[in-house]
Structure formats: C-alpha cells, structure tokens
Chains A and B, each alone.
Chain A
Amino acid sequence: MTSGRPKISVRDLVVTYGRTRALNGLSVDVRAHEILTVIGPANSGKTSFLRCLNRMIDLDLQARVKGSITLDEIDIRRGIPAEDLRQRVGMIFAMPIPLPLSIRDNVAYGPRMSGLRDKAALDRVVEDGLRAAYLWDEVKDRLGQPALKLSGGQQQRLCIARTLALDPEVILFDEPTSGLDPISTAKVEEAMTELRKTRTIVLVTNNTKQAARVGVRTAFFLMGDMVEVGPTEEIFTAPRDQRTEDYIVGRFG
C-alpha cells in the first residue's frame, strides 16, 4: 500500500478533439481508497478526464492527449501496455451495456481475455464478482441466461460485476446511475461505498446530490478547467469559488 503517495497523479493534462479543447491543462491527484467525485455541467471535460485515466480515449482517433498521468508512479502511457492498464483501472459506462452473451460469460469475459482458462477458477471469479455487485442472489440460478434479459438496474450491476472480475485497483464510474430508478441507484451507491474499502474510485456524475452522498472529495469542472477540489463537505457547504456555489445551488448547468 502506498499510503501518503497518490494512487493516480495527473499533471498538465490537455485533451483536444480537432480544434476543440476538452481539457486545458488539468492537474489533480487521486488518493488511494477515496471516492473522488467529479461534477460539472455538460462539456466541462469530465468524461474526457475519466477516459484518459485508463486510456480509453486512445480509441477516439480524433482525440489528442498531452501531459502526464501516473498510476503508482508508473507512466500509464509508456510504462504499461494499455490492456494491462485497463485491467488495473476498470470502467463502468453511463449506459449498462451487457455483451450479447450469457450472464456468466459477461462476467468471465475480462479474465478469459487475460488468459484465465481454468473452469473452477472462472466460476469462482464469476461468483465473487456478482456477490460484490450485490447481484448474486438474483441471478445465481440462471447464470446461463442471456444478460440482455436482465432489468436495467440488474444490467448495470452486472457491468460492475464484470469489471470487478478483473480485480481492478481503481474503478472509474461514468455517470453510472443516469439511467436508473432510485432503488437501483441506491444499490449501485451502496456497492460503491463498499468497494472503497479495497479500491480507489473516481466517479463522474451529473447528480450533485449523489456526489454529496458518496464522495470523499469532490472536484468541480467547468469548460475544461478544474475550478476547485476539496473534501466533499467543504465543497458543498463552503465552496471557495463563486462558480462552484452557483452550480451546486443550481443557478446554471
């Protein structure tokens, strides 16, 4: 455990898509075992920031990335293959997207791709993942069924289980509850709070109340800049910047 040192360290991160700039030189640390929530209006660069952290942004051929990002002091662009990085830094998308496979095969997908073949080990990984995502009891009798038959909330927890099956150190959530009802949202938030004990979480959300509920620290992004970052309580009760306050009380965004 690298206590004290940041888990992820971002310095002078610039992201451009053609002529538009999504991030203008952003620097922030993510500490081990925290939930860093990122809030901000549309086009503030939240998702671009998140996608840099596991290099999913490389899939976008238009995107250009400058600056440095380290994970446990390893340069994620030069020090580690992208595939290995994405196993250590998992990602949950805004919309739950189960692959058109069975529930079991969805959860086993990542470990299989990294070379795990042993059936007993895969079964164990599937069960552990589903339990950690609070989905095991609902699906344990129908693991062979198509994942697309699950409800929306179950699908999103399946996606969490699928990411957890890789045992990532960091999990990136990109507005994971934007399409879910309040009960499903509560379950996902519960899973996040539990996961924090063993992992580090970065949560991008449009829901400021959610940031207040689960965030340890909160960062406020606006137009590609980080306006401020601090303990969630401070950001919500005594923000230093007027724009943060305006956003939180709902004057814009």
Chain B
Amino acid sequence: MRNETLKERLGFGVLLLAALVVVVPVLAIVALIVLKGWGALSWKFLFTMPLDGMRAGGIFPAIIGTFYLVIVSIAFSLPVGVMAAIYLSEYARDNALTRTINLAIINLAGVSSVVYGLFGLSLFVVFLKFGVSIIAGALTLGIMTLPVIITTTREALRAVPHSYREVSRSLGASRWQTVRHTVLPRALPGILTGAILSVGRVAGETAPILFTVAAFYLPKLPTSLSDQAMALPYHLYVITTQIPGIPEGFRYGTALVLISLVLVMNIAASVLRSRYRKRR
C-alpha cells in the first residue's frame, strides 16, 4: 500500500516536472526581456524615428510597419480563409477534389517560413510587379496564415452540432441561411481564436518579410501599400547582428515592444470573444 503511494507520488513528480519544463522557459524569456528591455522604454523610444544609424532615437517606423502588415494581411487571409473553410465544411462533398485541397492545406502548414518569403518574392514582388512593398509582404504573410485560419475555422464549424443544421433546414432555411444565421454565430469564437493565432505569427515572422517588404532603414513612414516598411522582427534582427555599438537595452526594448504588441492584440481579441459568448 505504502509502496503504491510512493510510486504514485513519483509519477506525479515526473508529470509536474514536465509541466515545469514547459512553463519555466516561457517565464524566463518574458522575465529576461522585461528586465533588460524595460529601461529602454520611453515615449521617445516608442514614438520617434531612429537616429544616428539606429544607435539612438526610437523604433516608431518599425512599430507602424508591423501594425500595417498585421492589418493588411489579416484583412486578406481572414475572409478568404473563412470562406474556404465554409465551403469545405458546409458545401463540399468528400471527393478527390476536397481531399486534394485538404492535403494541400496540411502541407502548406508545414512549409517553412523562409520558403514563403521566396514564394512571395517571385510571385508578388517580381511576377506581379508589386515591388518590395507592404502589399507584397502582407499577402505573403496572409498566405502563410491561411492554413491556420482554415483549419481552426473548419474545426469551429464542425463543432456546431449537426442537429442545429437539421432544425434550421427543416424550418425552410436554405443552406446559406443556415450557415449565416445558425452555424456561423456559434462558430465565431473559434474563428476568432484562429485569427488571434495568426496575428501573433504575422507580427513575429521575419523570413517571409525579408525579401518582400522589410527595409533596413527608412527615413520616413510608409504612406501607401506600395511603399517599403520597417518591421519589428526584422528591425530586431538588424540591430542585433548588423550594426555594432547598439545599446543592449535597445534590442531588448524592441523585443519587449514586439511581444507586448502581440499580447495586446491577443487580449483585445479575447475580450471580443468572451463578450460575444456572454451576449448569447
């Protein structure tokens, strides 16, 4: 009997250890970035242009650039992804075509991000002649996030009980009316989760924007979609590896701004989601 409990405790201990292995690095990263980056944060750092070869001044253009990239890429990938998921979940029959599409989605999710960058360069920048621009970078990021949005949306749609669809159809609603008025409202929180995940990825990825939009340094803010832009992850890369003599606080400050930006967007989306859940 006592032996049993000992074994059990040992088992629990191992499980606890595994959980800690996950949590500790996350906390360590956050703590490190906050501790080292906090000192660099100031209004000047956040809202002014870089000066003196980026060794002084702020990171405002990189913040704005990342913000634009997130907005434009989600504006593209969320509607396209949701529509694709609705088609696959509500309309498509199980045949060779849909199986091919599903396979494509799974494979797309596994492609490494630098390959997306190369693809964006050849399709948007060169072939479609968008040039190195916000629109080229945002579309590249958007295509990268499509698999995530499609998969989460499809799961959210599938989680809506089939009986709701039956009831709606039995009351004379068409298939689209059923999707629009019964299925989508129930699936919305799940769809928002997919969008949140995508925002985090779009804001944080470096490789896809490397050849498609990111500028080393720009003296002014972008004014249109066909302008280049600076972006936080690329800026972080640049000031960490390309320019000697940058104060350490600058790097960690930039990293802090990046994770805070993602965090703020995630919280905003979560609030939206929980408010929507409550309303029903």
Contact = CB atoms under 8 A, between A and B. Distances in A.
Interface string A87-117: 1001101010101100000000110111000
B166 A56 contact: yes
A146 interface: yes
A47 interface: no
B7 interface: no
Contact of B164 (A59, A91, A99): A99
Interface in B139-187: 163-174, 177, 181-182, 185-186
B171 A61 contact: no
A163 B170 CA distance: 9
Contacts, number: 61
A84 interface: yes
Nearest to A88: B172
A99 B280 CA distance: 11
Contacts of B167: 93, 97, 99, 159
A59 B166 contact: yes
A61 B170 contact: no
A162 B172 CA distance: 11
Interface residues of B, number: 19
Nearest to A91: B170
A113 B170 contact: no
A83 B166 CA distance: 12
Given A100-B186, A100-B280, A146-B280, A113 B172 contact: yes
B171 A109 contact: yes
A83 B93 contact: no
Contacts of B186: 100
Nearest to A92: B170
A95 B166 CA distance: 12
A201 interface: no
Nearest to A105: B181
Given A56-B166, A100-B280, A162-B171, 15 more contacts: A61-B93, A84-B172, A86-B171, A87-B171, A90-B170, A97-B164, A97-B166, A99-B164, A99-B168, A99-B182, A110-B171, A113-B177, A113-B181, A163-B170, A166-B172
